[in-house]
Amino acid sequence: MSNVFRLEKVHRLRFSLSLPLLTFSKWKGTETRYADREWDDDEKAAFEDAVLTHGAELRTVRDEVGTRTIYEVVRYYGHWKKRVSLLFHCVLTLSPSF
């Protein structure tokens, strides 16, 4: 009997917490863009130079790029880092061992 009571209590708690979350998401009047515009070659070069100079200090990288927001720089850094590590891994595995 106590398990049933405990489940009902958890269900009520989840239901009461989910209501503010549903209404909270409706406050924004405009749609959010989920895809950034493409990075041109100058932006990519500035980004890579800034990362080589400043490392993962992305606010400084954003200042060096100049045309992107911090959110765009963070997202691009994640994709760039994944791509670079994948390329590095491929080079290591494909290189002949002596």
User: What CATH number does residue 61 fall under?
Assistant: 1.10.10
Domain that holds residue 95: 38-98
Residue 77 corresponds to which tokens in the numbers above? 């850094």
25: in domain: no
Q: What is the pLDDT of residues 19-55, one digit of tens each?
A: 444 444 555 666 665 677 899 999 999 999 999 999 9
Asked if pLDDT for residue 9 goes beyond 70, the answer is: no
Q: How many domains are contained in the chain? A: 1
Q: Are 78 and 98 spatial neighbours (Cβ–Cβ below 8 Å)?
A: no
- The reported pTM is 0.59
Residue 32 lies in a domain: no
The answer to whether residue 76 is domain-embedded is: yes
> What are the C-alpha distances in Å from 25 to residues 17, 79, 92?
13, 27, 46
- Residue 78: inside a domain, yes or no? yes
